[in-house]
């Protein structure tokens, strides 16, 4: 796909989304950014996009709520009249022991990590088909691509992200040939803000490439999937070999 003058929707993705947006803008894309709580990150990304001479709009949206995805797509249609690429990064990651897991915890993870992806993808399809083609890229998790859970206390998160991988595959089949659907499974890309220096070092040691990847590595994977015309139904693991341990 040619990215010049394309319109891209990036949902969520604080920190990683900034690098992806900058890379897309460098290739001539206009960007729509949605956020639920990370307004500062979204506005920073928007300024970066505009400094590159491209257009950007920022929308506060909780995509886990019914009807919100439709509102976002309606706004994009009104402002740009088209949508070429969806990069769905909205996610929640919360640890909770199985013994204390509530129905609300379960529902929140599934609605945010899985259902929101289905809803925004479904709403994006008519606009993409109107342009003749499209790309949908979901963000899953390296543990899902490893084929088994690696950590305790992440039951609903792991289940939701596994569902997102399944959604990638079935939508790739359903939407071919006009729309290509893939996912990216990040490993140690950016350490959590409150992670100790010791914990950061331990993760790096457990990663065969001996370092954290950085958001730019995810941006590179996005560029590949956005520009490729013959890859669909795939999940690309970007984890520095972490799954090998």
**Whole-angstrom distance between the N-terminal and C-terminal Cα of the chain?**
36
Tokens describing residue 171: 């939508």
Backbone angles phi, psi at 113, to 5 degrees: -85, -25
Residue 108, judged by CB atoms within 10 A of its CB (0-12, 13-18, 19+), counts as middle
> How far is it, in rounded angstroms, from Cα 3 to Cα 56?
15
Asked if residue 5 lies in contact with residue 21, where contact means CB atoms within 8 angstroms, the answer is no
Asked if residue 96 lies in contact with residue 153, where contact means CB atoms within 8 angstroms, the answer is yes
Tokens describing residue 241: 């070999």
Helix (H, G, I), strand (E, B) or coil at 43: helix
Residue 91: other Cβ atoms inside 10 A: 22
**Residue of 35, 118, 151, 157 marked active site:** 157
Catalytic residue status for 157: yes
Backbone angles phi, psi at 105, to 5 degrees: -60, -50
Catalytic positions: 157
């Amino acid at each position: 796909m040619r990215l010049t003058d394309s319109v891209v929707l990036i949902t969520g993705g604080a920190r990683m989304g900034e690098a992806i947006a900058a890379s897309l803008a460098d290739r001539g894309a206009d960007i729509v950014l949605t956020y639920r709580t990370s307004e500062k990150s979204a506005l920073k990304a928007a300024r970066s996009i505009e400094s590159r001479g491209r257009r950007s709009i920022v929308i506060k949206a909780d995509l886990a709520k019914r009807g919100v995805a439709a509102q976002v797509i309606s706004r994009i249609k009104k402002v740009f009249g088209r949508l070429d690429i969806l990069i769905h990064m909205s996610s929640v990651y919360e640890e909770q022991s199985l013994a204390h897991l509530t129905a609300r915890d379960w529902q929140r993870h599934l609605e945010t990590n899985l259902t929101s992806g289905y809803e925004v993808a479904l709403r994006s399809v008519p606009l993409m088909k109107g342009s003749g083609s499209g790309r949908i890229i979901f963000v899953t998790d390296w543990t899902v691509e490893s084929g088994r859970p690696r950590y305790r206390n992440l039951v609903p998160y792991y289940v939701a992200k596994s569902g997102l991988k399944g959604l990638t595959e079935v939508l790739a089949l359903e939407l071919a040939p006009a729309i290509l659907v893939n996912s990216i499974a990040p490993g140690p890309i950016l350490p959590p803000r409150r992670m100790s220096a010791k914990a950061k070092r331990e993760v790096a040691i457990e990663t065969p490439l001996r370092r954290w990847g950085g958001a730019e590595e995810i941006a590179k994977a996005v560029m590949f999937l956005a520009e490729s015309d013959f890859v669909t139904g795939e999940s690309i693991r970007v984890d520095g070999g972490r799954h090998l341990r």
